[in-house]
Amino acid sequence: MCQHNPRCPDADSADRDQAQLVTQAVSQGWGRRCNGLLTFDDTGGLLPDGRIIAPQRPLPTLAGAA
Ligand SMILES: [Zn+2]
């Protein structure tokens, strides 16, 4: 688990996306954080237990769809 000091926020905490990045696939648009959270360039995420976090901002493709 987390070896950082101070310890990274848990995946269940509100500041979960402040955990340190341990893997980052820039070309694929995602990164994995120390607490197991996957974060995506669209600001969405995937928790270690499989729950999905909806993107926190509108996607550019939706803005001009109407
Ligand atoms: Zn950590």
Please determine, for residue 16, whether its predicted confidence score (pLDDT) is greater than 80: yes
Separation between Cα atoms, residue 65 and residue 20, nearest integer Å? 35
The rounded Å distance from CA 66 to ligand 1 centre is 42
Please determine, for residue 63, whether its predicted confidence score (pLDDT) is greater than 90: no
Mean pLDDT of 25-52: 95
Q: What is the pLDDT of residues 39-54, one digit of tens each?
A: 999 899 999 999 999 9
Separation between Cα atoms, residue 53 and residue 13, nearest integer Å? 13
The rounded Å distance from CA 4 to ligand 1 centre is 4
Contact, 8 vs 35, CB < 8 A? Answer: yes
Separation between Cα atoms, residue 50 and residue 13, nearest integer Å? 15
The rounded Å distance from CA 58 to ligand 1 centre is 29
Q: What is the pLDDT of residue 30?
A: 97
The angle subtended at Cα 62 by Cα 47 and Cα 36, nearest 5°, is: 10
The rounded Å distance from CA 55 to ligand 1 centre is 23
Q: How confident is the model at residue 57 (pLDDT cuts 50, 70, 90)?
A: confident
The rounded Å distance from CA 48 to ligand 1 centre is 14
AA identity, residue 29: G
